[in-house]
A and B are shown apart, each in its own frame.
Chain A
């Protein structure tokens, strides 16, 4: 099961609710249940949100669109913040990061 590291759990939950609408178009599952999000930190002084996320594969042809969609979803929920999204592949994504709902969706 995936755990998103954060320094503000309440706002992180709001962010995850927004990111729940961002779908990986190939798999048809949202990026939260896929476990693509590693860290969401809030810098309240400078009004910046740092998002660290990954993709199921570095070769993903939709990677740029998924990241762009995630940025727009975050911006919509936190309009007063600058959203800084970093794509990381270390540690690589693994299927253990898929949530229980995600597993059910993929096992259909």
Chain B
């Protein structure tokens, strides 16, 4: 008989809660690249274009947010060393978001921002509220203070602020409820989402996962707290500047604060890399590390845009390139890498946990095809660089070829996700 005492291990969240988020995200990525393929000419026009809005929301909500929600239901209990408060709330969050996102995307695509879009936005808000309640109660039950969990919670609060503003902007299209038109508030909505939700969360979770997967003992809480205050300070100062209507040049201040946070995070990852125990670094971690470097690209583009704005020269191409480099750049790169470091463990635990000790089990990384992953990486990087070039040069042919490459990326990604999910046990 085997008994366990002094059980310091946290119970994993059931795969039944987590896997649907991954599947939804994978299909959203495919849908977004199909939309991109069908709408590549939209990227030679202004960024406030129905198809651009549809693609952006498919990427931000369907792809980025859904996979992060799924992964965080799995990771947060590990970070806070306590069980997830409610699986039911997690399922409810999935159902609300799963229904709301297509309604929103369809409305943007057809540019009929009526009750359908508003219903979609209300459902997305309901999903985030369920997630936030689940997170808050889970964290309150934890005995340990954890900087990574604080990052995740704060990011989720910013997410709710983003989606509430999104709902207000939609309502403002049909009834004038805000002092100015919705386009005026678009940068506020976008930046709270990008910096508050995605950036804060990626740093909070990445600073835990990257050293863990590198098997590195590097840890620097002080630096993480500094990054936390820099990112939040940057966002709060941005909001203050936005509503005070001051000179465009002052936006350099929040930008500098974000840039400093990014440099510190890149340094954190580099230190973890230097102090790694395992010398060989797998491709999944490499692409995640690359995404950290890719964070700097949108910052450079934003800096150029601010400088141009000071001289009263707004550049729509740069704004498109900026958005593209965030959603199809660093965010997609880190998801492509981290999916194949987290989902194999979830599937492995589902399939082999009760078969432990009954024979030789495959390693989690054997559950997907490494060669398909490498081809996906090549298609992705070439597609991303070419699309960005196409946007900046307004080259239709570059955009067409690049959108095919990104579509191939999504097909290969979905192939590998499906391969993992359909994995049959090699031992009885």
Q: Which of A61, A76, A107 contacts B349 (CB 8 A)?
A: A61
Interface residues of A in 68-107 (CB under 8 A from B): 68-69, 71-76, 82-89, 94-95, 98, 106-107
**Is B12 a contact partner of A56 (Cβ separation < 8 A)?**
no
B3 contacts A25, CB within 8 Å? no
Smallest beta-carbon distance B19→chain A, Å:
14
B residues adjacent to A (C-beta < 8 A)? 1-9, 12, 74, 78-79, 81, 208, 212-213, 215, 217, 277-280, 342, 345-346, 348-349, 352-353, 356-358, 361, 363-364
Q: Which chain A positions have C-beta within 8 A of B1?
A: 75, 82-83
Show 27 residue pairs from A and B whose CB-CB distance is below 8 angstroms, ordered by the A residue.
A25-B348, A26-B364, A56-B215, A57-B212, A58-B8, A61-B342, A61-B346, A62-B349, A65-B356, A67-B4, A68-B2, A68-B356, A69-B357, A71-B4, A72-B2, A73-B357, A83-B2, A84-B3, A84-B4, A84-B5, A85-B4, A87-B6, A87-B9, A89-B8, A95-B277, A106-B278, A107-B279
* Residues A27 and B215 in contact, CB atoms below 8 Å apart: yes
The answer to whether A27 touches B278 (Cβ under 8 A) is: yes
A91 vs chain B, min Cβ distance (A): 13
Contact among B2, B4, B5, B348 for A62, CB-based, below 8 A: B348
Instruction: Check B357–A71 contact: CB distance below 8 A.
Output: yes
A63 to B348, CA, bound (A): 12
Please pick, from B3, B9, B215, B277, the residue contacting A64 in the complex, using a CB distance under 8 A.
Answer: B9
Residues in A with CB closer than 8 Å to B81 are 58
Q: B345 contacts A59, CB within 8 Å? A: no
CA distance A87 to B333 in the complex (A): 35
- New A-B contacts (18) at CB < 8 Å, excluding given A68-B353, A74-B2, A94-B217: A25-B363, A27-B215, A59-B78, A62-B349, A63-B9, A65-B356, A71-B2, A72-B2, A72-B357, A72-B358, A84-B2, A86-B6, A87-B4, A87-B9, A95-B217, A95-B277, A98-B277, A106-B215
**Residues of A close to B352: CB separation below 8 A:** 65
Q: Which residues of A from 21 to 63 have beta carbons under 8 Å from B?
A: 23, 25-28, 56-63
Instruction: Decide: B212 and A85 in contact? CB cutoff 8 A.
Output: no
Q: How far is the CB of B348 from chain A (nearest CB, A)?
A: 7
Structural contact, A65 and B79, CB atoms closer than 8 A: no
Q: Could you tell me the distance in whole angstroms from the C-beta of B428 to the nearest C-beta in chain A?
A: 15
Residues from chain A with a CB closer than 8 A to the CB of B342 are 61
- Whether A67 contacts B9 by the Cβ 8 Å rule is yes
- Which residue of chain B has the shortest Cβ distance to A64 in the bound complex? B9
Report the separation of the CA atoms of residues A61 and B6 in the bound assembly, to the nearest whole angstrom: 18
Please name the residue on chain A nearest to B216 by beta carbon: A95
Write out the residue numbers on chain A whose beta carbons fall within 8 Å of the beta carbon of B279.
Answer: 106-108
A87/B349 in contact, CB under 8 A? no
- Which residues of B lie under 8 Å from residue A107 when comparing CB positions? 279
Q: Contact between A61 and B2 (Cβ–Cβ < 8 Å)?
A: no
